[in-house]
Amino acid sequence: MKRNKKERQLLLKDTIEEKPFITDETLAKMFAVSIQTIRLDRMELNIPELRERIKSVATNNWNETVKALPIDEVIGEIIDLELDERAISILDITAEHVFSRNKIARGHHLFAQANSLAVAVINDELALTANADIKFTRQVVQGERVIAKARVKEVTSSNRTAVEIQSYVDNETVFTGLFEMFRSNDNKEGEQS
């Protein structure tokens, strides 16, 4: 259903506020207009492009929170983080991530996204991967967005934390992993030994 410009821009603004990580392509399909129209609408509404919205959220929310590595060393963009509980990151697969002949993402990029998210979720200054049991469940291709979700399964008294990672493209699982992470201490923040 075609809408007039004013109505479309109001809905566009509401949609982006509700889903800040939605792409211009998805918005164009949703509103049955061209990607260029969406970009022009965003410019008129002073809404930054997706990458800037993601960076803004990451910089404002996670820069001081991630302890085990600098935020700029995380592969993908962190969009949600609760230390020693859960985390979510987004990685848009571009030409730099794929084999040139078939546009399939190189596996080490998906692993790096998952591994760095497993490190980021640890509430410690030092977190290292001790072991990883991983599985690639389908190929990822250029242009797809990978959403990785980390969930801390267990924090043991032997300086180890088990982190489960599930990575998705459009709600389809593309990668799973169970990461055993070494941490420098076995105390959660605020607890004394």
Confidence (pLDDT) at 116: 93
Query: Nearest Cα to 20, choosing from 72, 90, 83?
Result: 90
- pLDDT of the residue at 192: 35
Fold held by 5-47: Arc Repressor Mutant, subunit A (1.10.10)
Least confidently predicted of 42-51, 140-149, 171-180 = 42-51
Domain 53-183, second-level architecture: Roll (3.10)
- Give every CB contact of residue 174 below 8 A, 6+ residues apart in sequence: 110, 136, 137, 138, 139, 140, 146, 167, 168
Instruction: Report the DSSP beta bridge partners of residue 87.
Output: 81, 150
State residue 62's pLDDT score: 47
Summarised one tens digit per residue, pLDDT across range 67-121 is 656 666 778 888 888 888 998 999 999 999 999 999 999 999 999 999 999 998 8
- Which pLDDT belongs to residue 1? 64
pLDDT at residue 56 in the model:
62
Residue with tokens 């998805």: 26
Task: Please state, for a pLDDT cut of 90, what percent of the chain lies above it.
Answer: 49
Lowest mean pLDDT among 31-45, 62-76, 154-168: 62-76
Helices and strands, number each (H, E), in the chain: 5, 6
Return the SS3 of 8. Answer: helix
Domain residue ranges in the chain = 5-47, 53-183
Q: What per-residue confidence (pLDDT) applies to 193?
A: 31
What's the whole-number mean pLDDT along residues 135-141?
97
25 or 68, greater pLDDT: 25
Look-up: residue for tokens 């640890």?
Answer: 122
Whole-prediction pTM: 0.66
Mean pLDDT of the chain: 85
